[in-house]
Amino acid sequence: MLLGLDGDAPAYRLLLSQLGGRLRAYFERRMRDAPGDVEDLVQETLMAVHTRRATYDRAQPFTPWAFALARYKLIDHWRRRRIRVTVPLDDDVEILAAYAPDPGSTLDLGRALDTLPERQRDLVRGVKIDGLSLAEAGARAGVSEGAAKVALHRALKSLRERMRGRADG
pLDDT digits (tens, 9 = 90+) for 107-146: 466 777 788 888 988 888 888 777 778 888 888 888 998 8
Q: Are 70 and 27 in contact (CB under 8 A)?
A: yes
Look at the pTM and tell me if it is higher than 0.95: no
* Packing angle of the helix pair 106-114, 92-99 (nearest 10 deg): 110
pLDDT at 85 > cutoff 70:
no
Burial class (CB in 10 A: 0-12, 13-18, 19+), 53: middle
Instruction: Give helix 9-30 / helix 38-51 axis angle, nearest 10°.
Output: 140
Burial code (b: 16+ CB inside 10 Å, e: under 16) for 125-154 equals bbbbeebbebeebbeebebeeeebbebbee
Three-state SS for 117?
A: coil
3-class SS of residue 26: helix
Supply the pLDDT for residue 40: 92
Check: CB of residue 137 under 8 Å from CB of residue 73: no
Higher local confidence (pLDDT), 87 or 17: 17
Mean pLDDT of the 14-33 span: 90
